[in-house]
Each structure stands twice: as structure tokens, then as C-alpha cells.
């Protein structure tokens, strides 16, 4: 076993490493040595990358109905909150005016 602590690569870092191999034709062995990973780890990332690549094109530039529904629900919730806030402010202002009148202030 290695005495080195485990490294965790972000998705962006993994893609950058894969990109260097796929586009710049940097050998896998050089990338693995540079980043301290095993070749089988690199190939696992590549497999996952290609298996999930279709998700990048799934939307065809259009948002799904689910995203639209979530957006509509959020808008409705925010509108309800805003209406409630306006009602509370109106009540407080009404009470404030009545208090000022009762104290003889205008």
C-alpha cells in the first residue's frame, strides 16, 4: 500500500486530464505519472465520461418540462410570500396610523 494520502479530483480536473489525452494526445502514462494516479483509474474516468456523454446532448438546447415546473412552483411560492409580506406591512401601517391618531399626532 502507498503511504500517500488519497487524492480527490474534482469533475473539472478529471475532464481536464481526459482532455489532455484525447485532444492533445498526451500519453496516458505521462498523465498518470504527473497526477499521481493509476492507469486503471484513468480508464475508469474515461469509461464514465463516455457512458454519461449523452446527457450533455439530451436537452438539445431546450429545458425540460420538469425544470419549467420547478421554476413555476418557485415563482408561485415567491409570489405568495410577497403577497403575505404586503398584507403584514399594510396591517402594521394601519395600526401605526391609528396609534398616531389616538396620541393626537398627525
Q: Which tens digit of pLDDT belongs to each residue from 63-90?
A: 567 778 888 899 999 999 999 999 999 9
What's the rounded Cα separation, in Å, for the pair 77 and 4?
Answer: 50
- The model's pTM: 0.51
Residue 95: pLDDT over 60: yes
The pLDDT score that the predictor gives to residue 68 is 80
List, for residues 2-29, the tens digit of each pLDDT value.
566 778 899 999 999 999 999 999 999 9
What's the rounded Cα separation, in Å, for the pair 15 and 21?
Answer: 10
Strands (E), 14-99: none
Of residues 27 and 106, the one with the higher pLDDT is 27
The pLDDT score that the predictor gives to residue 59 is 63
Domain ranges of the chain: 11-58
List, for residues 18-61, the tens digit of each pLDDT value.
999 999 999 999 999 999 999 999 999 999 999 888 777 776 55
Amino acid at each position: 500500500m502507498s503511504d500517500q494520502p488519497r487524492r480527490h479530483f474534482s469533475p473539472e480536473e478529471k475532464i481536464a486530464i481526459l482532455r489532455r489525452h484525447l485532444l492533445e494526445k498526451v500519453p496516458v502514462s505521462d498523465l498518470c505519472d504527473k497526477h499521481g494516479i493509476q492507469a486503471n483509474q484513468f480508464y475508469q474516468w474515461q469509461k464514465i465520461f463516455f457512458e454519461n456523454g449523452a446527457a450533455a446532448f439530451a436537452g438539445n438546447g431546450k429545458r425540460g418540462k420538469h425544470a419549467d415546473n420547478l421554476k413555476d412552483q418557485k415563482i408561485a411560492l415567491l409570489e405568495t410570500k410577497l403577497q403575505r409580506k404586503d398584507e403584514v406591512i399594510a396591517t402594521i401601517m394601519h395600526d401605526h396610523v391609528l396609534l398616531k391618531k389616538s396620541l393626537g399626532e398627525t
